[in-house]
Structure 1
Amino acid sequence: MEVLKIKVLGKGSYGVVYLVKTVAPAYNQIYALKSANEEYSFFLRKEEEILLKFVNCSNIIQCYGGFTSVEREQRMVYNIFLEYAPGGSLLDLMKKYGGKIPERDVNCYTQMILEGLLDIHEKGYIHSDLKPGNILVFPPQHCTRLSTLKIADFGLAKREGVQDTWIGFRGTKYYMSPESIVGEISGALDIWSLGCIVVQMITGRLPWNTCDGDKLNDKLLRGESPNIPEDMSELGKSFLKECFVFDPNKRWNASKLLCHPYLLLPEHMLPRDDRQSLPCFQQKKVLRSRNIPPPPGFNIPNSVLLERRKNLEEQRARRMISSYQQRKATGYLCV
């Protein structure tokens, strides 16, 4: 299948991401195409393998498969088709807000990220590099007023409990947890990273005030954590404290955090903010990426979709029961 490269969306340590358009009769769709030279394609193939386990997950970027192409000078390149995020990354979204995001919107975005993490952890994976640059922005779904966030870039993801051959600092230093410095990698790392992201959305600044990797390591190993914003709601501060528990075995997991009272609060109970929420996502029609089907020849088997739908229904039922019990226990539900 032939694709037309429109522009470069970004470059990483081992590949390039292009905005592409499929060249096929009566088929006019756009995608993100992530490409890497064959000799550097290990991470890309690994990412494809992982992402295909998350078909139809609403807060994880969708992958439609991969293929090998022959480029200039007979160079072999491996490519994977991804859904295109017209809103860029969470960093771009923060800029549109003026740097900081109102807490009422942070509340919603945090829940979206947690929904994605729950899927990742229930499949037995750890993202290991959760940060604003790896969270992509899509048009609203399910009649919501806010953009949809999806977790992307699984190049450093690993299996829970599998011996790690990675040497040195894993991920991005500003979002790393204390235990990850000494090589202890679990789902708790992603939760710590989430807390750092929430701090950054609220303050508009990096979670730490130092750029020195050694000083940051020392802070983490001494038991320090990013400062919790003073102007945040009390329940918001409580939520972050659970993300920044030093002991990874006592840090709340994604399922428990989704039932934290902070995420169950109605909007009018959050702090007032003069800043306005962004209007519904608007982009030129040609750049929209909602409900885009896979490219020709890259269809997902129906059995995979049916299994995913069944799992989603079971998760939703469990979460509704947990949410009811949590709200009842904390007095936020009148019975």
Structure 2
Amino acid sequence: MPLFSKKHDARVTAKYNLKEVLGKGAFSEVVKAEEKATGTEVAIKIIDKKSLKGKEEALQNEIAVLQKVNHPNVVRLFELYDDKNRLSVMELVTGGELFDRIISKGSYTEKDASSLIRQVLEALEYLHSLGIVHRDLKPENLLYFSPSDDSKIMVSDFGLSKMQDDEQMDQLGTACGTPGYVAPEVLRRKPYGKAVDVWSVGVISYILLCGYPPFYSENDSELFKQIMKGEYEFDSPYWDNISDSAKDFISHLMELDPKKRYDCEQALTHPWIAADKARDVNIHESVSAQMRKSAAKLKWKKAMLVAAAIKMMQISSQEHKHQETQEQEQQDSASAAP
């Protein structure tokens, strides 16, 4: 039975007119609603607590972050209602995912990409100033506020985010994120901090300018090796019409050494962002074509998180070592036989 068909907290229905279901997940539904007093449209996320057993900490963490933030480029939590289900009244974001909008556009330039990344960096700089590391920045978590052509971009989904004080900020250790966008220090299982978010912005910037990811393999082990080595290229012909300033910007964000990597403030002052160095040439045809191809390749990876990938690789490695040991024992036994 849909969550939304159940009896709701009277406080919610007294204040909001509940409308259609906007989306469904494994543990939740998002419903469009209108505040009766003002006519303001919001999104109400209804989360089934029974289905979340063992994952309550992640939910509490996301709520704690959302209650703390107030920035024009970060999805906000307006109110929180807690009853049999947990009802969170969110800001309604209706413009769709970043890449979907780019593909549907008729024109798209470096300047457009620069403007998008500037907004993401401003949101990220704000989050970092509050001691919040997002830890899962990727295109699916960058949403347009509205369908209008001049809509702002919004950072969403704080399920993996972490709040730290200054002394602990570079001491995070949990392997998390999404393969392809995760920073090399996370894969090396080294203590990490805010710089992991900047690396992810570098990866997103790369894709925005050519349509395909800087690192790709259907084998997670090979993908992670590429990332840890920082192996990527500005391939011809896809990068031939992209400015040197854009390539320089990406190189500073996708710097292997997190201590040398640009922080948000440095990235925001880079000429590609701040000094009008982004080209105004239409790159929509080539970028959208590559995005469509990449989307088909990457679709199966969307739900895979780094922690799960690493665990699978460890199991595979253990099985491989066990097999090698057995083969060696068989060889030794054969050699010892008269």
TM-score (norm 1): 0.70
Taking a change above 3 Å as real, the CA distance of residues 45 and 242 of structure 1, as seen in their structure-2 partners, is same
Instruction: Give structure 2 stretches of 5+ with no counterpart.
Output: 1-11, 286-338
Name the residue aligned to 2:204: 197
Name the residue aligned to 2:40: 29
- Give a deviation string over 1:144-200, Cα, whole Å, max 9, x none: x6320111111100134266574xx41111101110113333111111100111111
1:19–1:30 Cα contact (<8 Å) kept: no
Name the residue aligned to 1:61: 75
1:155 to 140, 156, 159: 159
1:109 and 1:23 map into 2 onto residues whose CA distance is: 30
1:220 and 1:23 map into 2 onto residues whose CA distance is: 46
Letter in 1 for 2:260: K
Name the residue aligned to 1:289: none
Shift of 1:31: 1.4
1:226 and 1:127 map into 2 onto residues whose CA distance is: 27
Higher relative contact order (CA 8 A, sep 6+): 1
- Give a deviation string over 1:191-243, Cα, whole Å, max 9, x none: 11001111111122233232321111111223324647443211111100101
Matches within 5 A, 1:1-335: 1-2=12-13, 3=16, 4-11=18-25, 15-22=27-34, 24=36, 26-39=37-50, 40=52, 41-55=56-70, 57-69=71-83, 76-97=84-105, 101-139=108-146, 146-160=150-164, 161=168, 164=172, 166=174, 169-183=175-189, 184-225=191-232, 227=234, 229-266=239-276, 270-273=279-282
1:231 and 1:22 map into 2 onto residues whose CA distance is: 46
1:196–1:226 Cα contact (<8 Å) kept: no
Give the aligned CA root-mean-square deviation in angstroms: 2.6
- Give a deviation string over 1:281-333, Cα, whole Å, max 9, x none: xxxxxxxxxxxxxxxxxxxxxxxxxxxxxxxxxxxxxxxxxxxxxxxxxxxxx
The percent identity for this pair of structures is: 25
Higher Rg: 2
Counterpart of 2:180 in 1: which secondary structure? helix
Q: Which segment is superposed worse, 114-123 or 199-208?
A: 199-208
Shift of 1:65: 2.4
1:209 and 1:52 map into 2 onto residues whose CA distance is: 36
2:35–2:42 Cα contact (<8 Å) kept: no
Taking a change above 3 Å as real, the CA distance of residues 226 and 29 of structure 1, as seen in their structure-2 partners, is farther
2:46 and 2:234 map into 1 onto residues whose CA distance is: 38
Taking a change above 3 Å as real, the CA distance of residues 239 and 135 of structure 1, as seen in their structure-2 partners, is same
- Give a deviation string over 1:4-47, Cα, whole Å, max 9, x none: 24113242x6x3341321464x4433212223222524323321
1:251 and 1:110 map into 2 onto residues whose CA distance is: 16
Q: Counting helix residues as a fraction of each chain, which structure ranks higher?
A: 2
Shift of 1:251: 0.2
2:61 and 2:151 map into 1 onto residues whose CA distance is: 28
1:95 and 1:222 map into 2 onto residues whose CA distance is: 31
Shift of 1:140: 9.1
Q: How many residues align?
A: 259
2:142 and 2:208 map into 1 onto residues whose CA distance is: 12
Counterpart of 1:94 in 2: which secondary structure? helix
Taking a change above 3 Å as real, the CA distance of residues 271 and 30 of structure 1, as seen in their structure-2 partners, is closer
Letter in 1 for 2:123: G
Name the residue aligned to 1:280: none
1:59–1:112 Cα contact (<8 Å) kept: yes
- Give a deviation string over 1:229-265, Cα, whole Å, max 9, x none: 4432111111001011100111000011101111123
Counterpart of 1:174 in 2: which secondary structure? coil
Shift of 1:121: 0.7
1:121–1:187 Cα contact (<8 Å) kept: yes
